[in-house]
Structure 1
Amino acid sequence: MKLTGNTIFITGGTSGIGRGLAEALHKLGNKVIISGRRTALLEAVTAANPGMAAITLDVTSIESIQSASRELVEKHPDLNVLFNNAGFMPFDDVSGPIDDGLARELITTNLLGPIRVTSALIEHLKTKPEATVLYTSSVLAFVPIAGNAIYSATKAALHSFALSQRFQLRHTNVRVREIAPPWVDTDLIYKSGDPRAMPLPDFIEQTLAALATDDPEAIVDAIRPMRDNPGANEHALFEAFNQSLVENPIPVGA
């Protein structure tokens, strides 16, 4: 993927990985349009990055997706990169009854959201000489955290969807890429400076380098052992990984 001269739409671009990549790609000379539900946050990010644009979007609403997509194509006809990044990560305990409302919101945001946004823009992207659809999945798509069971499942499903869509688009000019972050020190859970979390600047630097290649998955070196783990013997790493989190929990809240 070329890293300059694109018009890029990023969902969930007001914080964390989304904002970090939006600002990095903006500095490289791309036209970047971010989205989110809160106007104040969109205004703060665009004010800090002159030339960056914003569109209000709620990825849980099909009406919002359709409206934002029409606005995008009208105002930014050169759009050639869609970066599906919006998502959230609550803790859960699936050893007992689950919160059905939370589960539905999580699946709608993390899985249906990117599927619907891509569906709304895919025909436009096909008209471009070079186009890319990016999905933010997670290392948890390959080795789940038991305490984020539903979140991990949405990311595994998104990885599976990306595989199928990549194959079905193989004869078009649209490339499907996947970013699978490790634990990055952002406010997705709680920005804590925990040494187990990858600093955001390091993640952005390594991810940009990976995106500059033709690899379908832009992953950082830190997650390669976990990315390679699924298979007949995957349970051992899964058990060891989750036991380590039981003994040294991820911080929750301030």
Structure 2
Amino acid sequence: MKLSGNTIFITGGASGIGRGLAEALHQRGNKVIVGGRRRGYLDEVVAANPGMAAVEFDITDPASIERVAAQLIADYPDLNVLINNAGVMQPDNAGGHVDDALLVSTVETNLMGPIRMTSALIDHLKTRDNAVVAYTSSVLAFVPLALTAVYSSTKAALHSYVLSQRFMLRDTAVRVLEIAPPWVRTDLMNSREAEQAMPLDAFIEETMAVLGTDADEILVESAKPFRANPGPGEHGFVDEFNKGAVELFGR
């Protein structure tokens, strides 16, 4: 991906990985617009990064997505990069009752939202040079965390969608990228102080280096063993990973 001279919209860009990517790309000479539901967080990011812009919208609401897509095309006709980063992660219980509100919210935010957002902008992106659609998935797309089974499932589904969309857009100028983070110190699952998680600044630095290459999958080194795991013998890795997670989180 070209790392400068773009006009970029990042969903979920007001905190965590989204904000980290937004600020790194802003510093490299891109016009960055961050989107999210929390006006206060958006205002904070814009205030800290003069020249950045923000739009408030709800990734779970199709009408809100259509409205913000039309606004972006009108206000930023040079828009050529979409980074679908918005996501929610909550613990659930795949071995028992799964709360329906959690299920619907997670699927709408993590899977339906990115698909709808891209759908609303894809025809415009096809007209732009150096166009990119990127999705923030997770290493949990490849090695599910049983304590967050719904979240892991949405990321696996998103990975599958990325593969299909990349194929369908193979004869266009639009590149489709997947960013698959490991455990990173963000607000997801209260991980900001987790010693075992990768520091956010280190993740952003390594991710930006890979993003600037021709790679379709953006993986930091610690994510690669997870990406390499799926296959006939995947269960052993998955089971050992989850045994460690249960010990860590006490469930």
- Pairwise TM-score range, normalised by the shorter structure: over 0.9
| 2:210 and 2:218 in contact (8 A); partners too | yes
Structure 1 residue ranges (4+ consecutive) displaced by more than 4 angstroms after TM superposition: none
**Amino acid in the other structure paired with 2:196:** R
| 2:185 and 2:199 in contact (8 A); partners too | yes
Aligned to 1:55: 55
Q: Deviations over 1:36-73 (max 9, x none)?
A: 11111111110110000011110000000000000000
Unpaired segments of 5 or more residues in structure 1?
none
Aligned to 2:123: 123
Whole-angstrom distance in 1 between the partners of 2:132 and 2:180: 16
**Amino acid in the other structure paired with 1:50:** P
Please state if 1:190 is matched with 2:187: no
Whole-angstrom distance in 2 between the partners of 1:146 and 1:83: 27
Aligned to 1:98: 98
Q: Deviations over 1:112-135 (max 9, x none)?
A: 000000000000000012200000
Q: Which moved more, 1:184-193 or 1:116-125?
A: 184-193
**Amino acid in the other structure paired with 1:122:** I
Q: Deviations over 1:147-203 (max 9, x none)?
A: 000000000000000000000000000000000000001111113432210000100
Whole-angstrom distance in 1 between the partners of 2:191 and 2:140: 18
Count of aligned positions = 251
Q: Aligned Cα RMSD in Å?
A: 1.1
Unpaired segments of 5 or more residues in structure 2?
none
Whole-angstrom distance in 1 between the partners of 2:228 and 2:41: 37
Structure 1 position 250, deviation (Å): 7.8
| 2:58 and 2:64 in contact (8 A); partners too | yes
Whole-angstrom distance in 1 between the partners of 2:192 and 2:84: 25
Whole-angstrom distance in 2 between the partners of 1:248 and 1:58: 33
Instruction: Give the percent of matched residue pairs that are identical in Structure 1 and Structure 2.
Output: 59
**Amino acid in the other structure paired with 1:56:** E
Q: Return the TM-score normalized by structure 2.
A: 0.98
Whole-angstrom distance in 2 between the partners of 1:74 and 1:188: 33
Q: Return the TM-score normalized by structure 1.
A: 0.97
Please state if 1:29 is matched with 2:29: yes
Aligned to 2:157: 157
Aligned to 1:169: 169
